[in-house]
Structure 1
Amino acid sequence: MQFSEYFEIAVDDEDDWFDPILDTDTRLFVDPFLIFKESDGPWSTAHQELIGYFDRAFKLLSGHEDNRSSLQYKRVVGLMEFHEPEEFCLGYVATGTSGAGAGTGLAKQITEAIREAVKRGLDKGMAHFEELGVLVERINRDRISDMTLSILKHRFIEYTQKIAGELGLELQPLEVANSVYEPMRKRWVTGTFDLPRNPFTGKAVLLVPKRFLRELPTLNPDDWFDYSETTLRDDLNLTVMENVNSKEIVRLARTRAELIREWTKDREGQAARPYDVDRDPKGFHNWNRLAARFVSSHPISAQDGESVHDFMGRVVATFKRYIEHERGWSLLYNDDTNKPKHEVSVQLLFKGIVQYYCLANGVRVDREVYLGKGPVDFAFTRSAFERVLLEIKKMTNNDYWDGLEKQLTSYLTSDQCGFGWFLAVRYDDRPVSVSRTKDLPKRTASAARETGFDLRAEWIDARPKASASNL
């Protein structure tokens, strides 16, 4: 459910703020480079505040970078501990809106990056803390976004209060973790603010400007490597540099630190390129709105005495109809390349359809539930005695048959659940897709006989179809 849907407000492309999905994190990230590009208005000083936070860490560690047991080093580790800012509903979390943030382990990793920067003189004149992500591994887009949101959280609180006031929304006094920084004690503390409440978490909702969102940070390790590749190749007398992994990029960056500052200076001349939130070419969030529209015109009600397993069968059939006959398949392809989206896209679209049916019929939906050796895609529960697990796989997935015969059955065993569904999504007519479509019924029946579980499978035809006007 989106913010606008819950608060019953109309939104359009002219609105400045991103309309978040309240019960699932959207896989978009706040890019500090886009904040850097703000030359006037209330956000024009935000990037300097962001860099100032890291400047304090540089100054604290300078002169102590070789002593990891020093008080200064430990204080910097404390400064780099950021809790996942779940109020924004952004990032990589597959289920709900509560992620990992930067715990002590990652805080030490960031501190190591600061240490490497100090040793190489990059602490002087740093204008973009994303440079740290080139010096160590694991400082990825999620972490960069989380750090940005955490350090500037007070600004996003003010922004949200401004938008909420303009919309006339009801606000509640809510605690916001790690929203106030105490410079004397060098730690983040909880503050209480009047803000909109997320009905799914009971916590505050914080909004962000759409123009700050990207799929990847502008300044990222791969972009540094692309910028520096020719120089590195010439200097290292290499004819080709292919399949360079993140560890190798870090090693190369440490040997040629001057290229990092040269790279960021070059990129400053580029125009800001935020993700097109309104068009949503990758389908990161519009699936929720489109799914809700379909469900409202295609209601399903549980029948008397109907099991959850049978109810899910009717829901699966409705989803199949949506994809195959209501142009739902078009949401599973990237607008800019016409190539199939990542498998998570079909999972999110499926969630968007089934969550409304299940909510209306007393069935709880949980996504990415960890059972045994890994997470099952979906669990549907009506009571302690009525539960169904469901897996979704692209037909071209290398783990396709394992998804049915090993993963799903393993999850059912761990969960002591006897009912499972396997959804196979077909995007093309390649031989592997044709054969897997043909073999799905018998392989499902065989797995059911061998395990004793009640297994059911359905394949979804997501191949592009001509519109009626072109027939």
Structure 2
Amino acid sequence: MAKIKSPATISTEFDIDPEDLFRLGIIDTQLASDTNLFIDPLLLEGSAHPEINTGAATAYEQRFELIIKLLRVSEVKGDLPWRKVEKLFKFSEISWTCLGYSSSVRGAGFGKELTTHALDTAAQIVRLGITDIDFFMGLSLFEEGIGADRISDMTTNIIIKDLVRLTQRVNKDLKIPSREFKVEGELQELPVNPYTDSPLIFVPTDIVRDLPIATDWSDISRAVKENEELRERVSGKIGQIWSTMTKKDKANIKNAALSSKESFEQLLEMLREVPLEPYDFTRDENGESFWVKLTKIGFEYPVKFKNSTAPATAEEAVAFVEEMILQFQDLIENKGIWKELWSDDKKPRREKAAQRLFFTMAYSYCKANNLDITPEADAGNGPVDFKFSSGFNNRVLVEIKLSTNSLLHGYQKQLEIYKTAEDTDHGIYLVIDVGGLGQKYAEVQRARREAIERGEKTSKIFLIDGNRKASASKR
């Protein structure tokens, strides 16, 4: 996993008010790593941007109408119409939007094998008599390897010219430094991402979701359960399978959907019942954007560390990280930053949001004290949340857990595995209480005491109270 060197976003890098981007309907994407949101083609037609609701929606529709037309006249795999389809279904990686799952800004794309499987299935669907272009979204429900990132990459490839036009229009207001890049064989004047020296393509806020509709069973299952009329219409094998659907059932749902034209049309009907709602940036449950306004938190709340030079020993590195955690605790518990752990509907944001909040604070302190911070450091056994290091030998790992999750396993197993993988004895387990703590913290503390009694090296545990607090006048 690539190292995230900076939490920079469009607004922080180019000194733009995040509210201006929000007003323009543009995502304030990270520039040195991906924002974990994805373009959903089912949202294109409803966008407020003319380049998208007209240009992009039409481009997407025409691409798949042509693919369906060619598949209908193809007589054998490999003939001329089939080869034309293969060219039309060739979707490469596009990283210029800075969206996806990666900690770098690389896309996913479709490889040759995945393309072959997808087209084989598409051909079967067309032979059933299905001509609705939305069935290509349905492929992700039962084709291994077609997930959120590839659906987004597929769509981006098709609508790239429209995204370019939108970017050029919006940048007349933002005035981000730009230069010419070749896009689809044509030179285009586009903003420059200084972290990749590549084009920076703006993405509207109203065409993205945290997962595209057709990759998430829960959305479809919920829609079916809440719609009595739909439940009556959806019957037979596909309806029975859907009622207990899990990700392991891809093969079953594929066989049921391809059993007849009626079955596949039922699948599409269920797909359309999912509300077409883009990601809610105001609520920001996943913590994709809230932390942007907090990137200078370390400078707004300065702290004088005991040692102002880069840690020379592992012990000094541990002491420095512990000081940062105590500062983080003070910010959460006493400076009102606890509010950022909660969305507007008074529900705790996901664990990733707490990790990003810690990163925004720690990054500025590390930068000022010449300590390297690596979020989601991966040495082959899965990613630990953070690795702090000064030289090869001075490494400290920090694992963050919300109280709503299981705590004991993370402390006894995960953190120790990460420490072994990163070749260090020094780890810190940071628990943030947002409710549901119960006896979990006591269990972790007991496990640590028992390990100490056995003579084992243990990781320190910190507990931060991140619960909602009444205003000062009501305390």
Shared fold (TM-score, shorter chain, > 0.5): yes
Partner residue of 1:163?
170
Task: Give the whole-Å Cα distance in 2 for the aligned partners of 1:461 and 1:59.
Answer: 60
1:83, distance to aligned residue in structure 2 (A): 3.4
Partner of 1:186: none
Which residue number in structure 2 is paired with residue 148 of structure 1? 155
What's the counterpart of residue 464 of structure 1? 468
Distance 1:6 1:230, change over 3 A: same
1:360 aligns with 2:371: no
CA deviation after TM superposition for structure 1 residue 322, in Å: 2.1
CA-to-partner distance for each residue in 1:357-402, whole Å, 9 max, x for gaps? 222322222222221322222122232333222212234434x333
CA contact (8 A) 1:29 1:145 kept: yes
Offset, 1:7: 0.7
Distance 1:361 1:240, change over 3 A: closer
Partner of 2:56: 46
Alignment partner of 1:250 out of 254, 263, 285:
254
1:297 aligns with 2:300: yes
* Contact preservation (8 Å) 1:51, 1:129: no
Counterpart in the other structure of 2:136: 129
How many residue pairs align between the two structures? 450
Counterpart contact for 2:398–2:430, Cα < 8 Å? yes
2:241–2:253 contact (8 Å) kept in structure 1: no
Say whether residues 1:92 and 2:98 are aligned partners: no
**TM-score, normalization: structure 1?**
0.82
How big is each residue's C-alpha offset from its partner over 1:394-451, in whole Å with a ceiling of 9 and x where there is no partner? 34434x333223322222222222322221222225533352364365267469x425
Cα distance in 2 for residues equivalent to 1:435 and 1:25? 37
Structure 2, gaps ≥5 residues long? 1-7, 225-229
Contact kept? 1:77, 1:104, Cα under 8 Å: no
| 1:334–1:341 contact (8 Å) kept in structure 2 | yes
Query: In 1, are the aligned partners of 2:403 and 2:437 still within 8 Å (CA)?
Result: no
Three-state SS of the structure 1 residue aligned to 2:243 is coil
Offset, 1:127: 5.2
Paired residue type of 2:209: R
The equivalent position to 1:345 in structure 2, one of 338, 344, 353, is 353
**Contact (CA 8 Å) 1:424, 1:459: kept in 2 or not?**
yes
CA distance in 1, matches of 2:36, 2:238: 37
Contact 1:280 1:286 in 2 (8 A): yes
- What code does the residue aligned with 1:103 have? G
- Judged with a 3 Å threshold, the aligned counterparts in structure 2 of structure 1 residues 199 and 232 are, in CA distance, closer, same or farther, namely same
What is the one-letter code of the residue matched to 1:382? S
Deviation, structure 1 residue 139 = 2.9
- In structure 2, how many angstroms separate the alpha carbons of the residues matched to 1:214 and 1:29? 6
Counterpart residue number, 1:280: 284
* Alignment check: 8 A CA contact 2:403 2:436 kept: no
Tell me if the contact between 1:233 and 1:240 (Cα under 8 Å) persists in the aligned partners: no
- The offset of 1:255, in angstroms, is 3.2
Secondary structure at 2:463 match in 1: strand
SS of 2:363's equivalent in the other structure is helix
Report how far residue 64 of structure 1 moved: 4.9
Shift of 1:6: 0.7
Of Structure 1 and Structure 2, which has the larger fraction of its residues in helix?
A: 2
Aligned counterparts, 1:407-418, within 5 A = 407-418=414-425
Change (3 A) 1:377 1:45: same
User: 1:428 and 2:435 equivalent?
Assistant: yes
- Of the structure 1 ranges 149-158 and 56-65, higher mean CA displacement relative to structure 2 is found in 56-65
Q: How far off is 1:261 after superposition?
A: 4.4
The percent identity for this pair of structures is: 27
CA drift at 1:3: 0.5
The 1-side partners of 2:35 and 2:417 are apart by 29
* 2-structure distance, mates of 1:117, 1:240: 19
- Structure 1: runs of 5+ lacking an equivalent: 181-189
**Alpha-carbon deviation of 1:110?**
2.7
RMSD across aligned C-alpha pairs, in angstroms? 3.5
Compared CA separation, residues 387 and 39, structure 1 to 2 (3 A): closer
Alpha carbons 1:364, 1:381 under 8 Å: kept: yes
* 8 Å CA contact retained: 2:415, 2:427: yes
8 Å contact from structure 1 (residues 21, 285) kept in 2: no
Q: 2:456 aligns with which of 450, 460, 466?
A: 450
- For 2:267 and 2:235, the matched residues in 1 are separated by 16
